[in-house]
Chain A
Amino acid sequence: MPHSSTHFVPPLWQPQTVWWPPKPGAGLTICPALLRIIELLPRLCGAMMKKAVEVILLLLLFFTPHTMGKRVSPPGKPALTRCRSPEKETFTCWWEPGSDGGLPTTHALYYRKESSERVYECPDYHTAGENSCFFNKNDTSIWVNYNITVVATNALGSNFSDPVDVDVVYIVKPNPPEKQTVTVMEDKGWPFLRVSWEPPQKADTRSGWITLIYELRVKLEEENEWEMHLAGHQKTFNIFSVRSGGKYLVEVRCKPDHGFWSEWSSTSYIKVPDYFHREKSVWILLTIFSAFIFLILTWLLHMNSRSLKNCILPPVPGPKIKGFDKQLLKNGKSDEIFSALMVSNFPPTTSSNYEDLLVEYLEVYVPVEQELMQEESKDLHGGSLKCERSTSDSDSGRGSCDSHTLLMDKCGEAKKEGRHTDRESSRRLTEAQRHQKGWEEDTLTYAHGDMVSPDMSNGRVKTWPSVFSPLPRYSSNPLDKQSSLEMAKQHCLSQPGHSTKEALGPSNWDLCLGNKQPHLLHPQTQVGWQLQAHSEVNISNIGRKQAPAGLQSPALRSTEYVEVQRVNKEDLVLLQPVVSGCGRIEGYPQKPKEKDYSKVKGVDSDNMLLLQREVMEEDWCPGVNQEINGVTGNCYTSSTVSPTHKPTACIHTAIPVQADMALAMNGYVDTATMCTMPTC
């Protein structure tokens, strides 16, 4: 905000110069009057009178100060406080008088325009009030510096104020705006205030002499702070931030473009009517809406309470231990609890449980020979692999492989299923049969290959599993715990001892050559096992005839692959065992699902089946028969194994062998079922 230019130009004229006329009637003081009287006294009276007058004068002089009360002095220095022009056409200056010095003091204002030396006195002391000087239009010039001084004069002297330079254009302070009106108006249901005003009357804005900008302020009646709004050049303004039912105060002021702000106009009061009902309706609507949403949410929660409960508070799983009784636990009797936990038939010790652990049984039966061959031929030509149905039903509970219509895959699955627990089968024999059948599938596959190319002594044979059916039955012969194929091998060779050794290699085959075996084998060799040029090996026939009525638990579940080595003169396929997987020996006897193969080392004097735990698995791939011994290298003897064969140091396990079982022919025993071998 610009102040008046008050750069003090030094007075080039001295106040003591003659130009300013002293005020008449400045007031004589008492002392000079007394002195006057004293001068005149000697003329009036004689010497005596003179003395009396002197006394009186002295007394007067003595009392005069008391009656006066204070000292008199020249007036204090006045000061020009401000000069203002409301419209840039006139202006007024105000001063502040100093101390009057105890005497009546008069003040005078003198001014000088910048371009002349002439001194003027204030033309009007009264219009603007006390201690003021008003310059009217005629005396006012713009863009001209006024040098103004105020003089205070009393009887004793006078005092000059500091001169002040004033340019009218810099001291403009307009009057407040006039004709201010405030009205309440409505905009889409919401109230607002419209304030309008007029510029001050004196200010000539129409001609452009003065350009004004406006500002207004608003506040609620009970508030302390004003809300300011700058309105610019416009003469109306809208205030939107009003509260319904509130009482507002509005004031306006203005300012020229290069001047001072005017005073605030007189306050306008306005009361905004109540728009409460509109606001209320909004609240009601909101309440209803939120209640509605709340109801919906509650309903949803109720509907999904269960799932939510599961989500938030998942049920604690209870114990599912067989034989676990919660009540016992709650009762707190630990002995009973733990006794209940103990399963009586674990670990399996009896044969019945043992049989349950078998994967599956293969039902083996040997049909009529001709029928079988026909079927075999049929199957052979058809190329489809079927499991042959056994006509004899001496053994019920046939497995799935018995069906004619089953394909190879199914049989293969049966073989695989053999590895899984099939406890639902009521017939242990069936399981064993099935398993052995599956095993034989592989063996026969090898057998066939040799048929096709008899030159390949070690070729793999592909065959059809239709031939399988007879075999398992045979293998379930109480004589053996071996696969039928191995027996078949024996049959094939039909000669105990060396031939077997040559063809089949490992000593496990030697085991086949039990005392009893040859008896069994021999006749069966004649019976069924004939090589046909076009057909697969009727391995199944071998075991069929001699199949005993009752099938014992086969226990053996080996799924060993057999390789056809050669065909001998008698059209017998010489097979040899092949461990294709090189890891067929697996697992531990404790796991019934896995196949545990252990080579039977022999049977000792106590009828203990001596097994050897395989050490090397990875490298133990079948090679030449003779090599197998070398590969394994341990604990195998190529000599015939007799019941009285003594176990070597490598034998790890000794299994009690039952009386009717002489030896495991192939040397592989399922250690998992070891203990429960009935015919062991």
Chain B
Amino acid sequence: MAHRKTNGSKIFMTVLFMVAACRAVAINDLLDRASERSDILHSLSTTLSHDLDSQFPPIGRVIMPRPSMCHTASLQTPIDKYQALQVSESDLLSLARSLLQAWEDPLVVLSTSANTLPHPAQSSISNKIQELQEHSKNLGDGLDILSGKMGPAAQTIASLPYRGGNDIGEDRISKLINFNFLLSCFRRDSHKIDSFLKILRCRAAKMQPEMC
């Protein structure tokens, strides 16, 4: 009986150790992948913005809505490095996930709008929007897995509903302006996500300082 018990405990310890070891390695790798994907996400959005701006008549910029009117503006995020480095890992992840979640619906709106966008580079814009959706979804899945490994605080996701509706404008100018505005909001938020994840990556990679 005692013999069996010691054997069982040994096995249990082995399994636990393995899980722990696996977990440690997995997070690092997961974060690395997540940050890579967020990097791509942001790069895509930057390219899109440039494509749009190139054809944008200067007059259109005049009546652009202000960035503070983004639907994610209500989310409190660090505004400088000092603040950012003080945020815990879980919170960082939570912020990232919240932001990502908040853009799930607006991306759909963007995608549908892109099909009828009165722009010379409409097709390429439409393709890139689809890529954005794809990467966003992948990243979301990865972050969900990550959050499962980082504790309950990482699980909270702030709700940031998009209230813009499906229609982004009636006439051509307003369509373009609204599209551009939404895209700029997304660009900033994707940069936030990317930064948070890269901070997380560096924190998790204490064994590999060359990563940072």
User: Using a CB–CB distance below 8 Å, which chain A residues touch chain B?
Assistant: 2, 5, 7-10, 88-89, 114-115, 137, 140-145, 167, 169, 204-209, 211, 233-235, 257-258
A203 to chain B, nearest CB (A): 11
Q: Does B191 contact A (CB under 8 A)?
A: yes
> Which secondary structure dominates chain A's binding surface?
loop
For the complex of A and B, list the 6 residue pairs with the smallest distance between their C-beta atoms, beginning with the closest: A208-B202, A208-B199, A141-B79, A10-B62, A208-B198, A7-B61
Which residue of A is nearest B209, CB measured?
A: A206
A211 to chain B, nearest CB (A): 6
Complex CA–CA separation, A152 to B153 (angstroms): 52
A209 to chain B, nearest CB (A): 5
**Interface hub of A7, A114, A209, A235 (most chain B Cβ within 10 A):** A7
A-B contact pairs, 20 of them (CB 8 A): A2-B50, A9-B64, A9-B66, A10-B62, A137-B80, A143-B77, A143-B79, A143-B191, A204-B81, A206-B209, A207-B199, A208-B198, A209-B81, A209-B195, A211-B198, A233-B210, A235-B210, A257-B39, A257-B198, A258-B194
B184 to chain A, nearest CB (A): 8
Which residue of A is nearest B79, CB measured?
A: A141
Contact in complex: B79, A206 (CB < 8 Å)? no
Complex CA–CA separation, A542 to B84 (angstroms): 144
**Interface hub of B53, B192, B202 (most chain A Cβ within 10 A):** B202
Contact in complex: B79, A208 (CB < 8 Å)? no
Q: Does B68 contact A (CB under 8 A)?
A: yes
A634 to chain B, nearest CB (A): 103
Residues of B within 8 A of A233 (CB): 210-211
Complex CA–CA separation, A380 to B180 (angstroms): 127
Residues of A within 8 A of B50 (CB): 2
Complex CA–CA separation, A206 to B50 (angstroms): 31
Complex CA–CA separation, A49 to B70 (angstroms): 73
Q: What number of B residues sit within 8 Å (CB to CB) of A?
A: 39
B134 to chain A, nearest CB (A): 20
Residues of A within 8 A of B43 (CB): 258
Contact in complex: A208, B67 (CB < 8 Å)? no
Contact in complex: A142, B79 (CB < 8 Å)? yes
Contact of A209 among B53, B77, B199 (CB under 8 A): B199
Residues of B within 8 A of A257 (CB): 39, 194, 198
B148 to chain A, nearest CB (A): 22
Q: Known: A143-B79, A209-B81. Is A258-B66 also a contact (CB below 8 A)?
A: no
User: Using a CB–CB distance below 8 Å, which chain B residues touch chain A?
Assistant: 39, 42-43, 46, 49-50, 53, 58, 61-64, 66-68, 77, 79-82, 84-85, 180, 184, 188, 191-192, 194-195, 198-203, 209-212
Complex CA–CA separation, A391 to B67 (angstroms): 143
**Interface hub of A167, A235, A257 (most chain B Cβ within 10 A):** A257
Contact in complex: B80, A208 (CB < 8 Å)? no
Residues of B within 8 A of A115 (CB): 68
Contact in complex: A9, B61 (CB < 8 Å)? yes
Contact in complex: B188, A143 (CB < 8 Å)? yes
Contact in complex: A145, B209 (CB < 8 Å)? no
Contact of A8 among B49, B61, B188, B195 (CB under 8 A): B61
Q: A8-B58, A145-B67, A145-B68 are in contact. List 12 more A-B contacts (CB 8 A).
A: A2-B50, A7-B53, A7-B64, A8-B61, A8-B62, A10-B61, A10-B62, A114-B68, A207-B85, A208-B202, A233-B210, A233-B211
Residues of B within 8 A of A207 (CB): 85, 199, 202-203, 212
Residues of B within 8 A of A211 (CB): 198, 212
Contact in complex: B81, A114 (CB < 8 Å)? no
Complex CA–CA separation, A258 to B49 (angstroms): 14
Residues of B within 8 A of A114 (CB): 66-68
A2 to chain B, nearest CB (A): 5
Residues of B within 8 A of A142 (CB): 79-81
Residues of A within 8 A of B211 (CB): 233
Residues of B within 8 A of A8 (CB): 58, 61-62
Contact in complex: A209, B84 (CB < 8 Å)? yes
Complex CA–CA separation, A227 to B38 (angstroms): 31
Complex CA–CA separation, A137 to B61 (angstroms): 30
Complex CA–CA separation, A7 to B202 (angstroms): 33
B186 to chain A, nearest CB (A): 13
Residues of B within 8 A of A5 (CB): 49, 184
**Interface hub of B79, B195, B198, B200 (most chain A Cβ within 10 A):** B195
Complex CA–CA separation, A7 to B188 (angstroms): 14
Residues of A within 8 A of B81 (CB): 88-89, 142, 204, 209
Which residue of A is nearest B47, CB measured?
A: A2
Residues of A within 8 A of B42 (CB): 258
Q: Known: A8-B61, A257-B39. Is A205-B66 also a contact (CB below 8 A)?
A: no
Residues of A within 8 A of B82 (CB): 137
Residues of A within 8 A of B53 (CB): 7
**Interface hub of B77, B81, B203 (most chain A Cβ within 10 A):** B81
Which residue of A is nearest B205, CB measured?
A: A208
A257 to chain B, nearest CB (A): 6
Residues of A within 8 A of B84 (CB): 209
Which residue of A is nearest B197, CB measured?
A: A208
Contact of B202 among A167, A206, A258 (CB under 8 A): A206
A444 to chain B, nearest CB (A): 109
Complex CA–CA separation, A89 to B82 (angstroms): 9
B65 to chain A, nearest CB (A): 9
Residues of B within 8 A of A206 (CB): 202, 209, 212
Residues of A within 8 A of B202 (CB): 206-208
Residues of B within 8 A of A141 (CB): 79-80
Contact of B191 among A7, A145, A169, A235 (CB under 8 A): A169
Contact of A208 among B61, B188, B203 (CB under 8 A): B203
Complex CA–CA separation, A95 to B148 (angstroms): 50
Complex CA–CA separation, A88 to B198 (angstroms): 14
Complex CA–CA separation, A206 to B211 (angstroms): 9
Contact in complex: A2, B46 (CB < 8 Å)? yes
